[in-house]
C-alpha cells in the first residue's frame, strides 16, 4: 500500500471515528409559533412562541438555558412603517430556562417585516448551540385597503382639480382633503402625551427603568432578601390603550434575581404585572404602570409618505387634464 493510500485510509477512519460522535453531540433547535408564521400580523394578537431543543436523536434536552434576542426588521424601503423608531432596534433580550427541552413566551410584534430571533442554547452538560430564525410578519390587509382607498381619494381629488384647472378655475380648496381624512377612519382619541413618570411604584421586588421608545428598557425582579427558595416568576406587560398583552412569560424559576430587556414600541401607557410563587408562601403580586416616553418620528421617515401622497395627487391632476383635453377633441 502506498503512503498516499495509507494517509487516505487514515483520514477516512478519522472521519468515521471522530465525525460521527461529534454529529451525535449536536443539538437541534425548533421554533413554533401560534398562530402559524404565515398568519402573524403586527399589533393583532400576542403570539405564543415556543422553542424546542433536542439532541440529535430527538430526545429533548432535559435542562439548560436559552439566551433569546429579538431584533426588529430593518428599515430600508422607501416608505416606513407606522413605528419608525422601532425599525432596526433590539426588541427583546432575555434568558429562559429549558424545561423538558422547551421554553416559551408570548409577544406582540409591533410592525411588519422580517424579525431576527437569535437563540443560543447551553445545556446542563455544557453543550451549546446557536441558531437564528427569521420571523416574517405581514402587514394587516385592512391597512392596505385603507391606504388604497386613501390614495384613490387623493387621485380623484387631483383628477377633479386637473379638469377644473384645464378650463375654468373653481373655488375648490384644500379643505376637501381634510373632509376626506375625516371619513377615512373613525375618529378617536389617543393616549395623552406621555411622560417619564412611572406611576404607583410600590415597594415591590420589580424594578423598571425609565421607558423610552427607541431603546430597550430593563425590567428586574429581585427575590426577597434572605430568601433561599427558588420562586416561580410570571410576568406580563399589557398595552392599556389596546387592552392587549404585548409580552408574557410564565413560571420562570428565579433564585435571586431575574432581568430582561424589553423595548416598548410606542409612547403609551403599559401595565406590568408580576406574580412570584414562593414555596410555602402566598404568591407575591406586583403591578406597575409605565408611561412610555414617545419619540417623534424623524422627518426622513415622514417626507417619503408625504411625497408619495403628493405624487398620487399630481398623477390625478395630469389624468384630469388629459381627460378634459381628449373630451374636447
Partner 1 sequence: MERTLVTWLGFSLSERLSFVIKSGIFLSLCGATLFVALASSYPVVHDTLHNVRHALAVVPCH
3-state secondary structure the chain: CCHHHHHHHHHHHHHHHHHHHHHHCCEEEEEEEECCHHHCCCCCCCEEEEEEEEECCCCECCEEEEEEEEECCCCCCCCCCCCCCCCCCEEEEEEEEEECCEEEEEECCCCCEEEEEEEEEEECCCCEEEEEEEEEECCCHHHHHHHHHHHHHHHHHHHHHHHHHHCCCCCCCCHHHHHHHHHHCCCCCCCCCCCCCEECCCCCCEEECCCECCCCEEEEEECCCCCCCCEEEEEEEEECCCCEEEEEEEEEEECCEEEEEECCCCCCEEEEEEEEECCCCCCEEEEEEEECECCCCCHHHHHHHHHHHHHHHHHHHHHHHHHHHHHHC
- According to the binding rule CB under 8 A, does residue 317 interact with partner 1? yes
Q: Which residue has the cell 439532541?
A: 55
| Shortest distance (Å) from residue 212 CB to partner 1 | 11
Print burial letters for 77-114: b (CB count within 10 Å at least 16), e (below 16). eeebbbbbbbbebebbbbebebbebbbbbbbbbbbbbe
Instruction: Looking at residues 180 to 209 of the shown chain, list those that interact with partner 1 (rule: CB under 8 A).
Output: 181, 184-190, 193
Instruction: Looking at residues 210 to 239 of the shown chain, list those that interact with partner 1 (rule: CB under 8 A).
Output: 213
C-beta closer to partner 1: residue 221 or 321: 321
| Shortest distance (Å) from residue 206 CB to partner 1 | 26
- According to the binding rule CB under 8 A, does residue 313 interact with partner 1? yes
Candidate list 54, 140, 259, 323; residue touching partner 1; CB under 8 A: 140
C-beta closer to partner 1: residue 161 or 276: 161
C-beta closer to partner 1: residue 14 or 302: 302
Candidate list 29, 51, 85, 121; residue touching partner 1; CB under 8 A: 85
Candidate list 146, 196, 197, 229; residue touching partner 1; CB under 8 A: 146
Number of residues that bind partner 1 (CB under 8 A): 56
Candidate list 314, 315, 319, 322; residue touching partner 1; CB under 8 A: 314
- According to the binding rule CB under 8 A, does residue 267 interact with partner 1? yes
| Shortest distance (Å) from residue 89 CB to partner 1 | 14
d(CA 178, CA 169): 20
The span of 10-18, 94-102, 162-170, 198-206 binding partner 1 (CB under 8 A) equals 162-170
| Shortest distance (Å) from residue 217 CB to partner 1 | 16
Kindly tell me the burial class for residue 270, based on how many C-beta atoms sit within 10 Å of its own C-beta (0-12, 13-18, 19 or more): buried
| Shortest distance (Å) from residue 209 CB to partner 1 | 19
Site string for partner 1, 278-307 (x = CB under 8 A): ----------------xxxx---xx--xx-
- According to the binding rule CB under 8 A, does residue 76 interact with partner 1? no
The span of 4-12, 19-27, 57-65, 143-151 binding partner 1 (CB under 8 A) equals 143-151
Where on the chain is the footprint of partner 1 (CB under 8 A)? 79-85, 112, 139-140, 142-144, 146-147, 150, 157, 161-162, 165-166, 168-169, 171, 173-175, 177-178, 181, 184-190, 193, 213, 266-267, 294-297, 301-302, 305-306, 308-310, 313-314, 317, 321
Amino acid at each position: 500500500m502506498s503512503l498516499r493510500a495509507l494517509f487516505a485510509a487514515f483520514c477516512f477512519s478519522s472521519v468515521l471515528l471522530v465525525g460521527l460522535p461529534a454529529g451525535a453531540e449536536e443539538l437541534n433547535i425548533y421554533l413554533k409559533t401560534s398562530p402559524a408564521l404565515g398568519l402573524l400580523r403586527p399589533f393583532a394578537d400576542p403570539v405564543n412562541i415556543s422553542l424546542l431543543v433536542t439532541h440529535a436523536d430527538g430526545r429533548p434536552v432535559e435542562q439548560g438555558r436559552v439566551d433569546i434576542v429579538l431584533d426588529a426588521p430593518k428599515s430600508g424601503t422607501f416608505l416606513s412603517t407606522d413605528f419608525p423608531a422601532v425599525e432596526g432596534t433590539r426588541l427583546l433580550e432575555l434568558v429562559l430556562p429549558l424545561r423538558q427541552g422547551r421554553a416559551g413566551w408570548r409577544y406582540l410584534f409591533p410592525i411588519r417585516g422580517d424579525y431576527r430571533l437569535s437563540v443560543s442554547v447551553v445545556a446542563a452538560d455544557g453543550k451549546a448551540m446557536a441558531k437564528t430564525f427569521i420571523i416574517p410578519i405581514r402587514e394587516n390587509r385592512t391597512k392596505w385597503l385603507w391606504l388604497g382607498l386613501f390614495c384613490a381619494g387623493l387621485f380623484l381629488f387631483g383628477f377633479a382639480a386637473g379638469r377644473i384647472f384645464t378650463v375654468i378655475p373653481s373655488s375648490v380648496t384644500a379643505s376637501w382633503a381634510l373632509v376626506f381624512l375625516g371619513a377615512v377612519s373613525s375618529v378617536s382619541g389617543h393616549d395623552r402625551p406621555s411622560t417619564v413618570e412611572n406611576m404607583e411604584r410600590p415597594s415591590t421586588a420589580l424594578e423598571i427603568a425609565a421607558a423610552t421608545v427607541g431603546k430597550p428598557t430593563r425590567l428586574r425582579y429581585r427575590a426577597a432578601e434572605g430568601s433561599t427558595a427558588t420562586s416561580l416568576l410570571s410576568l406580563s406587560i399589557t398595552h392599556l390603550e389596546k387592552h392587549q398583552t404585548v409580552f408574557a412569560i410564565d413560571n420562570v424559576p428565579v433564585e435571586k434575581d431575574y432581568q430582561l430587556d424589553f423595548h416598548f414600541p410606542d409612547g403609551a401607557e403599559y401595565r406590568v404585572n408580576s406574580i412570584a410563587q414562593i414555596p410555602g408562601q402566598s404568591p407575591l403580586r406586583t403591578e406597575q404602570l409605565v408611561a412610555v416616553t414617545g419619540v417623534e418620528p424623524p422627518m426622513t421617515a415622514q417626507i417619503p409618505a408625504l411625497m408619495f401622497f403628493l405624487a398620487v395627487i399630481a398623477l390625478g391632476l395630469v389624468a384630469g387634464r388629459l381627460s378634459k383635453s381628449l373630451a374636447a377633441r
